[in-house]
Each structure stands twice: as structure tokens, then as C-alpha cells.
Amino acid sequence: MDRAVILGTFEFIGFSLCKYLLEQGCEIDGVHFGKEDDDAITHEKRLTIGRNANFYEINYNEWIKSAELQKSDTIFIDIYDLYIRNGIAALREKELIEGFLLKNLALFQTLQVKIAFLFPIQWVKDMSRTHSRLEDAIKVLKENDIFVSSFYLPVIYGPWQPKEFSFYQSIAKERVIISEREWIHDAIFIDDLILFLSSGPDRNSDESFLLKSNIKGHWRKCADYLSIDYNENWRSPDLAIGKVTERTIHCSVNISDGLEKQRKQFISLESPDGL
């Protein structure tokens, strides 16, 4: 792709995707959910990509009112990270659906825009009721021949993983609290996810993808490496698998190497001078 719009450009997945696409020479409109007083992590991310001439940052409050799109744009909407940090309210769902997605159907058709939603895997559990308004909007988009892909993700780990995850807490030597929002039945390394997503929206528009690792028990093996205590009897709940296409993501690094990359990046933020 030549150009992309990323809603959540300073979130975990959004930032990693943005950074990778910029390195590939892609132009990015980075839409930021945050407020004016950003934390140190956001500031560091902005320093990492903000000087790239192909990157243009815009606040979500401004973008949602007057989004400017170009032909063949791919729009990534990172709902996964908002869910993980319990920040879905920042999306302003009604405004996103009615004021942007449904309002611009003709524009999407004319410009041949592609839209990719990044969801937590928990949303597959009951797609008929859970977050039905957004699912209904996706149905309308598809009925109007808009190219839409949905990706349902387990735990994603690696550099820049946020503090809500148990892997981060362990690496930071904090008290580990495994949130109910953390899908402890599978995991995917961030670089492998980004490589897949960077080509994913070019697949069939009528498909939704449940992404899983090729390593059985990936999350538990990560937890064991970090010596995280967890309940051995946890069982994976039933998912509405018939409504999505399962896609296996190959892990390109050893689990230990992936976690050590995350640890190294965490330490570099804590001690920028390497002290």
C-alpha cells in the first residue's frame, strides 16, 4: 500500500504498524486518540516517527469532523488497544459509525477505500449481541461494496506492549495482575502480527480473521518464561468460529528472544542513557 490512515497511531499495535509502514515508504495520516497532555511513552513514540516527512499527525477530535481521504487509502481502526486499556469511550462509537462510516459510503466507493478493524478476540464469543452496532455498521459497509476486513487478536506482546498486560508487569517487576481483558489462551509476537496486517487488507473483503499462533500454548509458554503464576485449569471459552476464518500466524522468533526484545525496549525507556 502507498497510503494509510491509522486510528490509534500511538497505541501499541497502531504505533508498531505506523512505524513499519513508514519504513516501507508509506504515507501515514496518524490519528491520535489522546489529549493534549500526553504521557512520556506517547512523547517517545512521537519522537520516533514524528520527524518522518511521510507522517502527518492529527487529533481524533479534529479528524472525525473533517477526515480527508485519498484514492485507495487503507484505514486501520485499532479498537483492540482501546479495549485492553478500557478506553473504548474515546472512540465515540456513535459518532464514528454515523458521522464517519455510514455518512461516507459514497466517498468510500468512489475512492476505493479499504477499512481494517482490529478487535480483541473476546468479541468473537458472541458476535450476534456483543458490540452489535459496530458489527451492523460493518454489514452495511459490505452491502455497499466497501472493502472491509476484521481481525480478532489474542494477546500481542513485544516492544511497546502497554502496562495493562501481565508480561509488561513482570518485566517491569511490578505486581502481576492478569486482567479479564487479557486473552490468556494464545499470544502473537508484535512483529509477526504487523507483517501480516501490512498485507491483510488486500485479502477478500467479506472475510473476518481470527488470528492464532502456530505455537500451541503460546501465552502459557511466555508466562512460564517470565515465571508468572497462573491457573493451570483455565480453559478457553467457546468462540463463534463459524463466523470467522482462522488464520495461523507463524512465530518468527523464539519466545525467549521476543520477550527479551520487549525487556530491552522497556529498559531503554527507563534508562535512556543505558545506565
Residues of the chain with pLDDT under 70: 35-37, 126-131, 200-206, 240-242, 272-275
Q: What angle do CA 270, 271, 272 make, to 5 degrees?
A: 110
Total of domains in the chain: 1
Largest interatomic CA distance in the chain: 57
pLDDT of the residue at 240: 65
Residue 73 lies in a domain: yes
Domain assignment of residue 131, given as a range: 3-157+187-215+241-255
pLDDT at 204: 53
Residue 117 lies in a domain: yes
What integer pLDDT is reported at residue 182 of this predicted model? 94
Cell numbers linked to 239: 468462540
Summarised one tens digit per residue, pLDDT across range 163-221 is 999 999 999 999 999 998 999 999 999 999 999 999 855 555 557 899 999 999 999 99
CATH at residue 121: 3.40.50.720
The pLDDT assigned to 203 comes to 53
Cβ atoms of 262 and 225 closer than 8 Å: no
108: left (phi over 0), alpha (psi -120 to 50) or beta: alpha
- Does residue 223 belong to any structural domain of this protein? no
Sheet containing 147-153: give its strands across.
55-59, 27-32, 3-7, 74-78, 114-120, 147-153, 208-213, 245-249
The answer to the question of residue 130 being in a domain is yes
**For the chain, how many helices (H) and strands (E)?**
11, 10
In a domain, 266, yes or no: no
In a domain, 168, yes or no: no
- Whether 176 is in a domain gets the answer no
Residue 106 lies in a domain: yes
Using DSSP bridges, classify how beta strands 187-189 and 3-7 pair: parallel, antiparallel or unpaired: unpaired
For residue 275 the three cell numbers come to 545506565
pLDDT of residue 254: 97
